[in-house]
Structure 1
Amino acid sequence: MMLNTASDLDLIIDKVRRAGALAQHLKSHGLITSYKADGSIVTNADTEVNLWLKEALLDARPDYGWQSEEEADNAHRLDAARIFVLDPIDGTMGLSKGSPYWTIALAIVENNQPTGAVVYAPDSGELYSASLGEGARLNGARIQASQRAELEGAEALGDSRLFGKDIWPTPWPRLSVQSRPSVAYRMACVAAGKADFTMALTPKRDWDVAAATLIAQEAGAVVSDHLGNPYGFNAIDSLKPSLICSGPALFPEIIRRCAHLDALT
């Protein structure tokens, strides 16, 4: 059984909009910041958005499973036909430093693939959404990934230092690289044709990429790890070794340049 089409997508759009308003309210009153055991930053916006969305979504869909960055994993999700996959605040460091490009990223996953998704950047007023087979939208308008075929001069989102490292047998051509704190936002920008590609050779988790994967794919972009392996979701291990999200014409060249990095998988 697939996504309950409009009803599920309408549900997650509505709840994520409301959660965005909650996060903005908390930010306006001064965020409370702490650190996780791994040293990563977390704020009261992360935890409060997580709690509010969990209650609101599972009240509406009590038979759905749940997976979130801000909670310990629960193996019961593996038995659910559908699950919510949430990153309550993607780009927490950016939020804490005043960047407008933090997001709330929420997906519904069924049969190991996202079937409905929202990536919402409240401060920049951008709501990206998609449902399986229905295309992707930004604030209700259809979007399409870049058709650029040449790497020279391409617009990339990520860490500019990556492209200058000595791990590349052939230097990358000239790129225009900008940083954005949210992985989901970077992928959504590729979906909308605002950037030609984004890549990262650091591991990602399901909640980082599930929602944006559907949005990118529905806009015609390609998403995989650095060796071209497609993602699957709601498995026992949520770890993804790396990320490539690109317009379709550039994707083969990016994967070719990464082929020697098989030790990362």
Structure 2
Amino acid sequence: MSSQTLPIAPDLLPQIRESCIEAGKLALALFRPGAPTAARTWSKSGGSPVTEADIGVDTFLRIRLSELLPEAAWLSEETVDDAQRLSRRLVWVVDPIDGTRAFMSGSPDWAVCVALLDDGVPIAGVVHAPACGATYTAVRGGGALRNGAPIATTGIATVSGARIAGPKPMLDALARLEPFAPADKIPSLALRLARIADGTIDAGLVSPDARDWDIAAADLILSEAGGRLSGGDGQPVVYNRETPIHGMLVASGAALASPLLSALRRLRDSQPQRS
């Protein structure tokens, strides 16, 4: 498919957004605020939980998004991976419910996530958190929005005093080097990044094992809001690889990126070396 015939992301984004909002309504029908979900639940082969809401949303989005852009390949947490995506220019990357455990327990911090990749680069992204009343959207080069209003990361440039979210072991280790303000736990990784994008928090740490579907949409939103997601050594995140799994990641506003990465390198260097 040539670049001349590729529908531009701004034309697609409203339809992606509406698809996510409709998908969110399907999930909300089985969500119980502050109480266990009404959805049937079971464990996948690796032990992670899944619900009938995850599957229902995944099926709905695959039908709807495939109608929008039939030539795009598909990569989703709840669908068996198809290697044909590796040879496709356009790929939908979907997490029907990011934060399934939160959804199951009645926490509002879960989201429907959709990104469109063009040659491995996110060009459109939506993170829709229906139980929080928040819809984040972005197109490459067009800025990021929350419920239609522009958002931006904070300008904080020092780890000291920054509000940082992430896994407790990582935060505890960082705190031994630099004082900061641990943020409340955000079970959805996509929402952790989105809340950096809108300035709710300043930074986030991500333990190894995140997948493309956890981060692709939120990565674009964060980038368009003036932030940065990178590997622990500052390397860019690469999508649509044969194995779509990532190592440790660091997210923050642009001004905080280098100081935070520097602190993490010092932390790594201070760890005892294994023989």
TM class by shorter-chain length?
A: over 0.9
Alignment-derived partner of residue 249 in structure 1: 255
- Classify the secondary structure of the residue corresponding to 1:101: coil
Q: How does 1:25-44 map to 2 (within 5 A)?
A: 25-27=29-31, 30-44=38-52
Once the two structures are TM-superposed, the CA of residue 72 in structure 1 deviates from its matched residue by: 1.5
Provide Cα deviations, 1:81-139, integer angstroms capped at 9, x if missing partner. Answer: 21100011000000111111100111000011100000010001000000000000000
- 1:118, 1:53 → 2: CA distance? 12
2:210 paired residue among 179, 183, 204: 204
Matched, 1:77 2:85: yes
Structure 1 Cα separation of the partners of residues 65 and 180 of structure 2:
45
Matched residues in 2 for 1:3 and 1:195: separation? Answer: 34
What secondary structure, in the 3-state scheme, does the structure 2 residue paired with 1:204 have? coil
How far 1:170 moved relative to its partner?
Answer: 5.5
Q: In the alignment, which residue of structure 2 is the partner of 1:67?
A: 75
Q: What residue in structure 2 maps to residue 215 of structure 1?
A: 221
CA RMSD of aligned residues (A): 1.8
Match of 1:11 among 7, 11, 15: 15
Residue ranges of structure 2 left out of the alignment (5+ in a row): none
Alpha-carbon shift at residue 161 of structure 1 (Å):
3.4
Q: Distance in 2 between matches of 1:201 and 1:59?
A: 35
CA apart distance, 1:252: 0.6
SS of residue matched to 1:118: strand
Shift of 1:9: 0.6
Give the number of equivalent residue pairs: 261
Contact persistence 1:133–1:218 (CA under 8 A):
yes
Shift of 1:233: 1.0
Distance 1:157 1:133 in 2: 27
Distance of 1:122 and 1:55 partners within structure 2: 20
Secondary structure of 1:99's partner? coil
Q: Distance in 2 between matches of 1:49 and 1:169?
A: 39
**Matched-pair identity in %:** 34
Whether 1:100 and 2:108 are equivalent positions in the alignment is yes
Secondary structure of the 1:39 match is coil
Query: Which of 87, 90, 95 is residue 87 of structure 1 equivalent to?
Result: 95
Structure 1-normalised TM-score? 0.93
1:161 partner letter: P
